[in-house]
Amino acid sequence: MWFRRDLRDVDHAALARALEGGGPVHCAFVFDREILDALPSPGDRRVEFIAGSLRELDASLRERGGGLIVLHARARDAIPALARELGVAAVHANRDYEPAAIARDDEIDDSLAALGIAFVTHKDQVIFERDEVLSKTGTPYSVFTPYKRAWLERLAPAHLAPHATGGAAALVPPPAALDTGVPALEAIGFRRTNLAALGVKPGMSGGAALFADFRRRIDRYREARDFPARKGPSYLSVHLRFGTVSIRTLAAFAHARSLLPGGDGAATWLSELVWREFYAQILWHRPDVVTGAFRPACDAIPFPSDPSRFAAWREGRTGYPIVDAAMRQLAQTGYMHNRLRMVAASFLVKDLLVDWRLGERHFADTLIDYDLASNNGGWQWAASTGCDAQPWFRIFNPVTQSERFDPDGEFIRRYVPEVAALDAREIHAPWTLPPALQQARGVVVGRDYPPPIVDHATAREEALALFGRTLRR
């Protein structure tokens, strides 16, 4: 049993099927050097989250007579070698739909086949995968609403049923020579981060605690989700990313609650879970979106991509408090509120005229809940280059977004303390205040806080012209 982005031992498709075989089941995880060596920082919160989740998973498996073999190597080399060393008949794993993962798995499949070992993969991280939800003409959906409608129409109780992972007698502990436990972060080239200080608890227990809390709040989700200063989201995205919670558990609850009186919050959250699968099937059908626009014509947009503008955005010094607060939240926590992901992305592309792929890459490097399909889909939506995207002539006004979704400036004050002395009317656009008032507040634009990097009205016209010249041809 090869664990990947599914770090739990309950409701686990591959583990269930492996245990059904009746023979001894070894459990393994590989810190894949092809992935880790490419990460830009040794202080990557994701690696620490994975390590913590593995320790909990290993402990749970050992209570059942098993345990984890943990390797630090290239997975495409290590898995066939380990399978041969253990003398197994098959390697079970849950499917990964990212292009690089598919290529890796194809190579591993070939290597295992040459050894006479089966490579058996299973659907686990989504309710519907690949081409399971298609239009009446047999083509993939590129618009969310009809996809969601078809998704819900296809949904049956069997799709939400958990996979039983009993059969504890079949689990076996690692051989002594391979029973090295989960390595310290330093041993694989990383270091501890502020994950604990942030209150992020990895593993199955962390996911269960967040879900239990969210269940009590879900009825308010529709109204609260867009306000970054409020406790509105589920905060389960990182647990979904690494599979420390089961998508079936979450979707089953959301679907059942959505059908009851007062279930609007659950229905809205269920839509977010379906969005995740919508982008996953887009990635599977269109792997070219990893490097290019879903709408190929958009690849011709000549973004100036001024490096100084990109750096100011990345470092949270654009002079627009809501954008700067969002970017600083990302830098300090590895998380960004979903509404602000849209605001920050729109600002980079439509105000600063920076290629969306640069922003997407920065999010990929820093988000603890980074998921290729969702990140790519979200960025292409904001950039108006993707499927079912925001029309290119609709451009977020960062001040209006700030006033609407952080009306009291509470979130801004948390991450941009330079402007904390301003009141709720002043904090969204400090540069508009008279110089005397700036002095009185101790918030002088150009001294205490940067002036706006661009004028939004002017930038909007430049963006419309840039997109229009290309897309109206």
What is the tens place of the pLDDT at every residue in 195-229? 999 999 999 999 999 999 999 999 999 999 999 99
Least confident of 17-26, 35-44, 252-261, 436-445: 17-26
Which of 381, 425, 389 has the alpha carbon at shortest distance from 407? 425
What is the tens place of the pLDDT at every residue in 337-393? 999 999 999 999 999 999 999 999 999 999 999 999 999 999 999 999 999 777 888
Rounded distance, CA 412 to CA 337, Å?
13
Q: Which CATH superfamily is domain 296-471 in?
A: DNA Cyclobutane Dipyrimidine Photolyase, subunit A, domain 3 (1.10.579.10)
Q: What b/e sequence results for 260-274 when a residue is b if at least 16 CB atoms lie within 10 Å of its CB, and e otherwise?
A: eeebbbbbbbbbbbb
CB atoms within 10 A of CB 461: 12
Q: Quick check: 426 pLDDT over 80?
A: yes
Token couple for 413 = 């004050």
What is the tens place of the pLDDT at every residue in 289-321? 999 999 999 999 999 999 999 999 999 999 999
Q: How far is residue 440 from each of residues 266, 346, 433, measured CA to CA in Å?
A: 46, 33, 11
Q: What pTM value is reported for the model?
A: 0.95
**Residue percentage of the chain with pLDDT more than 70:** 99
Amino acid 87: pLDDT: 96
Instruction: Return the CATH fold of 126-160+205-285.
Output: 1.25.40
How far does CA 128 lie from the centroid of its chain? 18
Rounded distance, CA 53 to CA 203, Å?
4
What is the tens place of the pLDDT at every residue in 142-167? 999 999 999 999 999 999 999 999 86
CB atoms within 10 A of CB 53: 27
Run of H or E residues at 72 = strand 68-73
Amino acid 394: pLDDT: 87
Q: Quick check: 168 pLDDT over 60?
A: no
Amino acid 22: pLDDT: 80
Rounded distance, CA 97 to CA 284, Å?
6
How do the domains of the chain map onto residue ranges? 1-124, 126-160+205-285, 296-471
Task: Out of 3.40.50.300, 3.40.50.620, 3.30.56.10, 3.40.190.10, select the CATH number for domain 1-124.
Answer: 3.40.50.620
Amino acid 58: pLDDT: 98
Average pLDDT, the chain: 96
Reduce the DSSP state of residue 119 to 3 states and report it.
Answer: strand
CA count, 13 A, side-chain hemisphere, 123: 15
Mean pLDDT of 412-430: 98
Amino acid 169: pLDDT: 64
Rounded distance, CA 410 to CA 332, Å?
17
Amino acid 368: pLDDT: 98
